[in-house]
Structure 1
């Protein structure tokens, strides 16, 4: 059957599901602005839609997000019309609605059931927003109104969503009660055959030459920013370097912003917190801090295999693949004690949990694990066991996702509400 995927950064969360469906013989097409021309990736036909934004009138700041999503939705709608006119008739549509693109697909194919990747529903309290007092809302008394408008796309999508899928219980639970019955919880999946421990691993990259005999401490963000605790880690770095004089600190992440607000104009979060702590760190210690930027995936996996302690900090927010890949690699992990992390890590069993804001406690746990090989081994083995048992791609997650697609195929399409 014909299956359509829609994702601003395709394949994104569908990197396993879409190729799997194509391999089964389905005609799988993806609409995405990530490519400039029609191309094929792992059996999936990737077709671009082009976003054209002319000079627009000034809009209220609370509507900028909705305005951007409407432009994307309209551009995707035009591309979908062309696909329909070429004879493409999807029996199933699967989309990530976070950028608004899928808002009008039911106006093109009203009979096609729509399955949505339900990443997160925003709340002014109890989630990432308002979590960190260092970055308060500009107008706290107006946050409920701003977030209500930010969720407008979520609500409009709910009117046409036939089924949803969410990777964790925490993320699914963020949605309103009337939406939850439509949402299946199934993680995207970790390929535990590829992501696994290697006692003989050697990491050679950018002048580094490290093995498991070295004391390696790793910290990973997609982009180095407060939402993933970069400021907390950096402020703890002077003490960490003093207490672990042989440790090599590997920091992975870009200079941009994935979540939350951008850094002050003309600055990056990365450099701001380097500048804040640099005078407290002697040059000899600073030489042991390595900012690797964004690294190739094979290098990333070797880094997880070589690490002695892996640090993962986050607001109560979307759970990173990197945490679960570190667990699958049998890394000993120190992580922030927030709801999404506690869903996969139990303190003292599969890792060590600390208060997100307590940099001293974080350093204490890192030092403890760095000294205790037996504890590291026990935590790492238990962490991998949990990932294999509950999040393995081949045996757990892909079968669930395929079952969800079949359920979606049998659903009765909900028409757009006039």
Structure 2
């Protein structure tokens, strides 16, 4: 630690990815101020200021709306920053999530502050999520799609010449960024509290109709914030009839909301959950299929703790915290063989991988895992070890995050980055 640091955290949904870092900074004596766009819960020791946009989008052109929204947010945050500066606040470092445009103009307010951006994901025209699933193209012709992606990445790109550093949670997410900025990105995960999230032997879940399940039952779990193609919900549902036929005593709990977080929206008046359920419903015993919706966090962890098989899929995109939480609980993992997961899962060691677009392979591999107690025990132990050794909050990630902030505070003035380098 280098002494007390004035830290400004910027996230439209504060605390977001800074939920562990913010209180840790306060605990060691730093002054922590946060700028948010949406309503935030109070956090001890953190001064939270909410910016309110003065106008709504007015552009008729959808291409313009994408960037206009970011400018409106940036202007609102800029004016809040001016008020903070007038009140005497001068941040040594700014750590901002740039994806929504909130931090576009903060270096105009505090040019001497050292800026780092949270590098969650940089949209690319090829090789990422945009062209991954041919069943769900982004719409328009390829040229128009590429322009939309270029506009989507522009707010982040405007930060590159201003930012001393970047912070990415995984190597895969770092790899999505342009080479001219990638060398400035440090990889440190947000962290999983493996002291709290640990194997539970006494877990029990009771459903609304009075059904009670424990570790003695054959429980399969699938989790996504929203049940949608980006997280492989369509592939999972297509595999489910064969998987449940092969395991007649198994029941599945599907956790997630009915909205759309990423990618293509469903037809008007419907949702992806129902679309893909209808596709296979006549092949399922629905008494063994439980849609749990969104669960309170302790209940969510307890359900994962009794799961004999946790199935997780994702496009080449942001890795979900739920995957690492399941690993910390020692839940056996069956996951899609996509880049974010190959970074975490070593096939046959701490989990199993299957081709994303192959529901037959999913069902076959899942049934084989459920039939092999020794394999699941080994995968469970190794998954837990991976979570502790690489992603533990207190001993691994948080110390590295604090060191990142301290290194940022000591950085020299930023040399310009030529646009051609990006």
Please give the range of the TM-score, normalised by the shorter of the 2 chains. over 0.9
Is the contact made by 2:59 and 2:65 (CA closer than 8 Å) also made in structure 1?
A: no
Q: Rate the CA distance shift 1:147–1:54 in 2: closer, same or farther, 3 A.
A: closer
Partner of 1:270: 273
Question: Residue 353 in 1 paired to residue 357 in 2?
Answer: no
Aligned twin of 2:86: 85
In structure 2, what is the Cα distance between the partners aligned to 1:157 and 1:70?
13
Give the Å deviation of 1:135. Answer: 1.0
- SS of equivalent residue, structure 1 residue 344: coil
How far apart are 1:259 and its partner, in Å? 1.3
1:28 to 32, 49, 68: 32
- Once the two structures are TM-superposed, the CA of residue 305 in structure 1 deviates from its matched residue by 0.7
Matched, 1:168 2:181: no
Query: Are the counterparts in 1 of residues 11 and 96 from structure 2 also a CA contact under 8 Å?
Result: yes
Cα drift, residue 175 of structure 1: 0.8
Map of 1:318-397 to 2, 5 A cutoff?
318-397=318-397
Q: Distance in 2 between matches of 1:257 and 1:168?
A: 24
Q: CA deviation at 1:395?
A: 1.0
Identify the residue that residue 62 of structure 1 maps to in structure 2.
Answer: 63
Change (3 A) 1:205 1:415: farther
Provide the rounded CA distance (Å) in 1 between the counterparts of 2:188 and 2:345: 17
Shift of 1:144: 3.1
Q: Is contact 2:254–2:292 with CA below 8 Å preserved after alignment?
A: yes
Q: Which runs of 4+ in 1 moved over 6 A?
A: none
Task: State which of 279, 284, 290 in structure 1 corresponds to 2:282.
Answer: 279
What's 1:146 paired with? Answer: 148
Q: Deviations over 1:41-94 (max 9, x none)?
A: 1322222111233461312x3332211111111111111111111222111111
Q: CA deviation at 1:214?
A: 0.4
Match of 2:212 among 209, 212, 226: 209
Query: What CA RMSD, in Å, does the superposition of the two structures yield over aligned residues?
Result: 1.8
- Structure-2 change in CA distance of 1:21 and 1:381 (3 Å): same
Distance 1:104 1:239 in 2: 54
The 8 Å contact of residues 56 and 72 in structure 2, kept in 1 or not, is answered as: no
The answer (yes or no) to whether the contact 1:228–1:313 under 8 Å persists in 2 is yes
Taking the aligned partners of 1:179 and 1:31, their CA distance within structure 2 comes to 25
Distance in structure 2 (CA, Å) of the matches to 1:108 and 1:280: 61
* TM superposition shift of 1:328: 0.8
SS in 2 for 1:102: coil
- 1:196 partner SS: coil
Partner of 2:314: 314
Structure 2 match to 1:110: 111
- How many residues are paired up? 412
Mapped contact 1:231–1:273 kept (Cα < 8 A) = yes
Determine if contact 1:314/1:336 at 8 Å carries over to the other structure.
yes
Q: Secondary structure, in 3 states, of the residue corresponding to 1:253?
A: strand
Identify if the C-alpha distance between structure 1 residues 110 and 55 changes in structure 2 by more than 3 Å, giving closer, same or farther.
closer
Distance 1:57 1:416, change over 3 A: farther
Asked whether the equivalents of residues 331 and 380 of structure 2 are also in contact (C-alpha less than 8 Å), the reply is: yes
- Counterparts of residues 400-415 of structure 1 (less than 5 Å): 400-414=400-414
Asked whether the 8 Å contact 1:106–1:416 carries over to 2, the reply is: no
Cα offset for 1:347? 0.8
What aligned pairs does 1:210-289 form with structure 2 within 5 A after superposition?
A: 210-281=213-284, 285-289=285-289
The alpha-carbon deviation at position 254 of structure 1 amounts to 0.9
Structure 2 runs not aligned, ≥5 long: 418-422
Residue number among 181, 184, 187 corresponding to 1:182 in the alignment: 184
Q: Which residue number in structure 2 is paired with residue 122 of structure 1?
A: 123
Q: Secondary structure at the match of 1:304?
A: helix
- Shift, 1:12, TM fit: 1.2
2:420 equivalent in structure 1:
none
